C-alpha cells in the first residue's frame, strides 16, 4: 500500500473506531464533498458543454468499470465462494438500474430523452439532464457503502477513486441548471446529488453490516449496477458526443489505471 493511502486508511480506521458504518459516513461524506466541489467549480464555467468535461466523464467511466470488478465483484466471489450468488446480485443490479432508467424521466446531453413520455412535458430539460447524473450516483454510493462493510481499507480506496471522478460529475449536474435557473440553483442541485451518494453509502453499509450473510449479494448488486451505467449510459453518450475518440479512450484508460493502482496498493 502506498504511504499516503496507508495513512488515509489508518486515519479513517482511527476516526471510525473500526466501525464499518462510521467509516461509510466518512467515506460517503468525502464523495459528497467532491461532488459539491465540482458543482461549485461549475459556477466559474462559462461554456455550456466544455470539451474537458467529456474527457473527465470518460475518466469517471474508467474508474467505475474497474471498481465494479476489483472492489466489488471479485471480493464478493472471494467472500462467498459462490458464483451463482454473486451472479444473481449482478443481474439484480442491472435489472434495478434498467427499471429506474426506464421509468424515471431523464435526458442525456447527446442521446436525448429517456423515460415516460409524460416526464418530458412535466420537467424542464435542465432538470432532466441533472436527474440522469443523479440516477448514476446511486450505484456509486452503494459501492462505497458495501466495500466499507467488506473492508474499511477497500472502502477508503473506492471512495477516493469515486471522489476524484465525482468532481467532473458535480460539474455535469450543476452546469445545465446553472445555465438556465441560476448558479445557486445549479450548486444546490449538485450538492443534493452528492448527498444522495452519502445516503446510499450509509444505507448500504448499515444493511450489509446487519445482514452480513447478504454482503456478497449486495456487492454483486452494486457492481452490476455500475457496469450497466458505464456500458449502457456513459460510454455510448461519450462516443456520440462528437469529441475526438482518442481523447475519450485516453480518459477511459486513465481512470482505469488510477482505480487499478488504488486497489492494487491495498
Segment 77-118, tens digit of pLDDT:
999 999 999 999 999 999 998 888 777 765 655 455 565 555
Please tell me the predicted confidence (pLDDT) of residue 186: 77
Per the DSSP assignment, residues forming a β-bridge with 114 are 106
Among 214, 91, 100, 194, which residue's Cα sits nearest to residue 149? 214
Residue 176 has which C-alpha cell? 445545465
Distance CA 48, CA 41 (A): 13
pLDDT band at 166 (very low <50, low <70, confident <90, very high): confident
User: Can you give the pLDDT at residue 47?
Assistant: 55
Phi first, then psi, for residue 108 (nearest 5°) are -90, 150
User: Residue 121: its pLDDT value, please?
Assistant: 53
pLDDT value of position 113:
52
Q: How confident is the model at residue 48 (pLDDT cuts 50, 70, 90)?
A: low
Does the global pTM surpass 0.75?
yes
Of 34-43, 103-112, 152-161, the one with minimum mean pLDDT is 103-112
What is the average pLDDT value for the chain, to the nearest integer? 84
> Residue 122 pLDDT > 60, yes or no?
no
Residue 74 CA to residue 264 CA, distance in Å, equals: 13
Cα angle 152, 41, 227; round to 5: 45
| Confidence label for 183 from pLDDT (cuts 50, 70 and 90) | confident
Asked if 252 and 59 count as a contact pair (C-beta separation under 8 A), the reply is: yes
Using CA atoms, how far apart are residues 110 and 126, in angstroms rounded to an integer?
A: 13
Instruction: Answer yes or no: are the C-beta atoms of 148 and 40 closer than 8 Å.
Output: no
Q: How far apart are CA 214 and CA 80, in angstroms?
A: 9
Amino acid at each position: 500500500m502506498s504511504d499516503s493511502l496507508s495513512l488515509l486508511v489508518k486515519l479513517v480506521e482511527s476516526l471510525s473506531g473500526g466501525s464499518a458504518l462510521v467509516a461509510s459516513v466518512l467515506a460517503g461524506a468525502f464523495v459528497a464533498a467532491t461532488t459539491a466541489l465540482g458543482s461549485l467549480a461549475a459556477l466559474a464555467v462559462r461554456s455550456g458543454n466544455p470539451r474537458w468535461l467529456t474527457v473527465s466523464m470518460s475518466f469517471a467511466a474508467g474508474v467505475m468499470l474497474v471498481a465494479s470488478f476489483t472492489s466489488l465483484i471479485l471480493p464478493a466471489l472471494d467472500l462467498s465462494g459462490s458464483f451463482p450468488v454473486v451472479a444473481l446480485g449482478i443481474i439484480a443490479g442491472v435489472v434495478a438500474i434498467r427499471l429506474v432508467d426506464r421509468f424515471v424521466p431523464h435526458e442525456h446531453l447527446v442521446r436525448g430523452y429517456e423515460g415516460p413520455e409524460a416526464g418530458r412535458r412535466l420537467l424542464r430539460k435542465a432538470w432532466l439532464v441533472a436527474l440522469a447524473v443523479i440516477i448514476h450516483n446511486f450505484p456509486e454510493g452503494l459501492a462505497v457503502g458495501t466495500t466499507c462493510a467488506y473492508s474499511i481499507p477497500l472502502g477508503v480506496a473506492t471512495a477516493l477513486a469515486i471522489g476524484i471522478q465525482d468532481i467532473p460529475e458535480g460539474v455535469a449536474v450543476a452546469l445545465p441548471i446553472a445555465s438556465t435557473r441560476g448558479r445557486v440553483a445549479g450548486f444546490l442541485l449538485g450538492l443534493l446529488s452528492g448527498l444522495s451518494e452519502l445516503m446510499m453509502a450509509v444505507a448500504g453499509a448499515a444493511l450489509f453490516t446487519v445482514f452480513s450473510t447478504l454482503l456478497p449479494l449486495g456487492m454483486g448488486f452494486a457492481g452490476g449496477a455500475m457496469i450497466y451505467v458505464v456500458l449502457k449510459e456513459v460510454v455510448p453518450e461519450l462516443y456520440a458526443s462528437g469529441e475526438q475518440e482518442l481523447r475519450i479512450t485516453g480518459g477511459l484508460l486513465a481512470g482505469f489505471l488510477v482505480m487499478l493502482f488504488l486497489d492494487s496498493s491495498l
